[in-house]
Every structure is written in structure tokens, then in C-alpha cells.
Structure 1
Amino acid sequence: MPANRTTVAAIGALALAGALLAVAPAQADSSPSGSGKDGKGARSAPKGDGSKEICKRLPKTKGRVDAAITRLGGDATVAGSVTRLEQRVAAAKTAGHTEVYTYLNDRLTARKALLPTLQKRQGDLKAVSTWCAAPDAK
């Protein structure tokens, strides 16, 4: 039995709507302005090295690095210190908690590796501080 015209028209309309919906998302982000879903638009390439912002944030950055070095070098009473974590690793090993020991020991290894990185950064920040204080900087 042949389909009536309204059925054929409805199927055609559904097919057309489906095709349009499939193409619409592809065309939505192809605008030349590059605006994305967040509405902020495309970011441009940096125009400089950001030295002005680095000099502006330098005191806060130095404070954070100094605080981290102090914390890592603290005694067993200081949360986050290498010494405190070493004690926790030893306690886990003594208690026979193999999985906890492995986890804490891996954290200890990472924490010990962090200290030289922060000390290097501290030296770099001293050099940047000197550069920022120079009259021809920025």
C-alpha cells in the first residue's frame, strides 16, 4: 500500500531537520572571530615576555618559595616536612603496612626531589629581583 503524502512529507521534514542539526555544530565555531563556547574569543599571541607582571608578582612568589623551603626543611613537628614524612615511612614499614609504606615512600622521594628545584628557583628569583630593580628594566 503506498504511503500517503503527509507521511512522506513528515519523513522528509525529519530528514531535513536531522541534516540541519548535524551541520549546525560544525558551522558554529567556524566564525572568523574564533569565539568559542565560553564567549571570551580567541586569545592573541603574547606580545612580550611578561616581565612587568613577573616583577609585580615577585614579592609574593618569593614568599611562597621561601615558605615551601622552610616547610620542607622543618623538623618532625612541621606538617609537610621531609623529616615528618620520613618518620611516617618508618612507622608504616615497622607496622608491616606494605602498600602504605610504598605510597609514603614515593611521596618522600618526590618531596626530596622538590627541595633542590625550589632552591634553584630561589636563586633565579634573586637574579630576577635584581633585574626588576634596575632602572632600565621593564
Structure 2
Amino acid sequence: MPAVNRLPSGRRSGALGALALAGALLAVAPVAQAAPAAPSSGPSSGPAAAGSPTALPTPTGDGAKNICKRLPSTDGHLTNALNRLNGNATVAGSVARLEQRVANAKAAGHTEVETYLNGRLTARKALVGTLKSRQDDLKSVATWCATHGKGTGK
């Protein structure tokens, strides 16, 4: 072997050691992944406990204070979403724009694209109804907040 292709013996040993360590870790990793997680016996039982979700305490209230506090911003979000959905064909995200895209796909003979867009259109039309219902519910919540002195945010 030519001398230019050889590493000094110390670096060669280090490289071989690193390669052996990497191989050993790769050989053990599938076994560790396949092993079932043991039930935890305490709050800090190693890596299995780190990935499990933390249990939250049972709620003691309904969060009315925070709901009343966020009423103006929630109403604004609902209004903006409904304005966008009810916009004309030049408004991105509107039902009319998606209907136009469905018509364009049909005219071009792209049946698979038309089917896909029709599914999205059905979901978007249903979203309009859901948001209107939430907006109506929010009006009654605003009335409740006012009568119970919870305020309506900033």
C-alpha cells in the first residue's frame, strides 16, 4: 500500500474504534426500538417516561373567564374567515374561487383533479355553515358574559 494512503497508526486505531462503536450502536438500536416499554415505576424512570405525555389535573371550572376575555379576538377571527370564504373568485380561499377552479378542471377534462377539488369544495361549504353556527353561539356567550360581569376583553 502506498504511504500516502495510510493513516498514522494512532489515527487509524481511532477511526477503527469509531467505526466499531457506530456499528455496535446500529446493531443494538433495532433491538431497543422493538422492545416494549416497561411500565414506569416513578416520575423519572428514564427515556420511556420522557416521551410519555404529562397527565393534567382534572379541570375545576369551565374557563368562562378566559372565554369572555378572548371574545373580541375570537369574533374577529370568525368574521375574517367568513369574509374570506364568502368572497368573490378573486379572493384566495373563497368558495367562489374554488368553484371556478372546479369549472376550469371540468372544462379541461381533468376528471381526477375535478373530483379532488369537488371534495375540497364540499368541505369548504360545510366550513361556512360551521363558522356561522359558531358566530351565532358566540353572540349568546357575549350576552352571558355581559350579564355575569365577566367582561368582554380589551
Could you tell me the TM-score, scaled by structure 1's length? 0.72
Displacement after TM superposition at 1:41 (Å): 4.5
Q: CA separation in 1, counterparts of 2:117 and 2:55?
A: 43
* 2:114 equivalent to 1:94: no
CA-to-aligned-CA distance 1:92-136 (integer Å, 9 cap, x gap): 011011111111110001111111111110010011111112245
- 1:1-138 to 2 correspondences below 5 Å: 26=38, 29-31=40-42, 36-37=49-50, 41-137=54-150
Q: CA-to-partner distance for each residue in 1:26-82, whole Å, 9 max, x for gaps?
A: 25x23269xx41698431010111111111221111111111111111001111111
**Cα RMSD between the aligned structures?**
2.6
CA contact (8 A) 2:68 2:150 kept: no
User: Could you tell me how far apart the structure 1 residues matched to 2:96 and 2:146 are?
Assistant: 37
How many residues end up aligned between the 2 structures? 114
Counterpart of 2:140, as a letter, is A
Query: Which runs of 4 or more aligned residues in structure 1 lie more than 3 Å from their structure 2 counterparts after TM superposition?
Result: 38-41, 135-138
Give distance in 1, aligned partners of 2:67 and 2:148.
16
In structure 2, what is the equivalent of residue 6 of structure 1? Answer: none
Structure 2 unaligned regions, length at least 5 = 1-34
CA separation of 1:39/1:56 partners in 2, compared to 1, >3 Å: closer, same or farther? farther
Q: Which has the higher contact order (CA 8 A, sep 6+)?
A: 2
